[in-house]
């Protein structure tokens, strides 16, 4: 769907020759001499790289309509993750590499919002924090809550995070999906 640069809004997704980009920031500039133009900051949906792009005012560009669907992870099949659409119950196989690092926060039964464009997954939105089981770590030390010291813990998805010394194997912890850091015990 073609839109003009005057219609740009933050969060809008554009289809450019380089791929799909989300508008992070835009500014309409009307200099005293010469024609007006639109200066934008765009973020690639595939790589996350941010680029600057300038267009003439009223120039036509392609808007990409992104379909966001709430999906539930059913199971892992090797490097493939099998999701089920929460409304239509359709199943979708997605390569774990397509999701970037998001796959390491997902367990069977977990929900995520997948962004689809032309049948391909172009992005994933996770909740701010997820609960995961500590699969392996050194045994906890009773009473050691003040030192601030940390130890590595391997979680059920294979993700390794630094946790306080008092966390034991078999406990559930909350992990921030944006930073990958330990938040609290669940």
Q: DSSP readout, 108-121?
A: TT-EEEEEEETTEE
| CA 113 – CA 129 distance, rounded (Å) | 14
Domains and CATH numbers, the chain: 2-63 (2.30.30.30), 67-125 (2.40.50.140), 129-185 (2.40.50.140)
pLDDT of the residue at 76: 87
pLDDT of the residue at 67: 87
Series of mean pLDDT values for 10-residue runs along the chain (186 residues) = 84 87 90 89 85 89 88 88 88 84 85 86 85 84 68 87 85 88 85
| CA 59 – CA 72 distance, rounded (Å) | 40
b/e per residue 40-64 (b: at least 16 CB within 10 A): bbbbebeeeeeeebebeeeeebebb
pLDDT of the residue at 52: 93
pTM over 0.85: no
CB 40 within 8 A of CB 23: yes
pLDDT of the residue at 6: 84
Between strands 150-155 and 91-95, the pairing is unpaired
pLDDT of the residue at 84: 92
């Amino acid at each position: 769907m073609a839109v003009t640069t005057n219609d740009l809004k933050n969060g809008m997704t554009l289809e450019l020759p380089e791929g799909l980009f989300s508008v992070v920031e835009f500014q309409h500039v009307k200099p005293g001499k010469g024609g007006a133009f639109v200066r934008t900051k765009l973020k690639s949906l595939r790589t996350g790289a941010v680029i600057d792009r300038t267009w003439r005012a009223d120039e036509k560009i392609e808007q990409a309509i992104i379909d966001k669907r709430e999906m539930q992870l059913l199971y892992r099949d090797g490097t493939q993750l099998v999701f089920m659409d929460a409304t239509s119950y359709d199943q979708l196989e997605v390569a774990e590499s397509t999701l970037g690092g998001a796959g390491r926060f997902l367990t069977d039964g977990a929900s995520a919002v997948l962004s689809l464009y032309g049948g391909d997954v172009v992005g994933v939105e996770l909740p701010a924090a997820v609960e995961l089981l500590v699969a392996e770590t050194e045994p906890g030390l009773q009473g050691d809550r003040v030192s601030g010291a940390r130890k590595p813990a391997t979680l059920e998805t294979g993700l390794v995070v630094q946790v306080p010394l008092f966390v034991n194997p078999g406990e559930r912890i909350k992990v921030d999906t944006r930073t990958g850091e330990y938040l609290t015990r669940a």
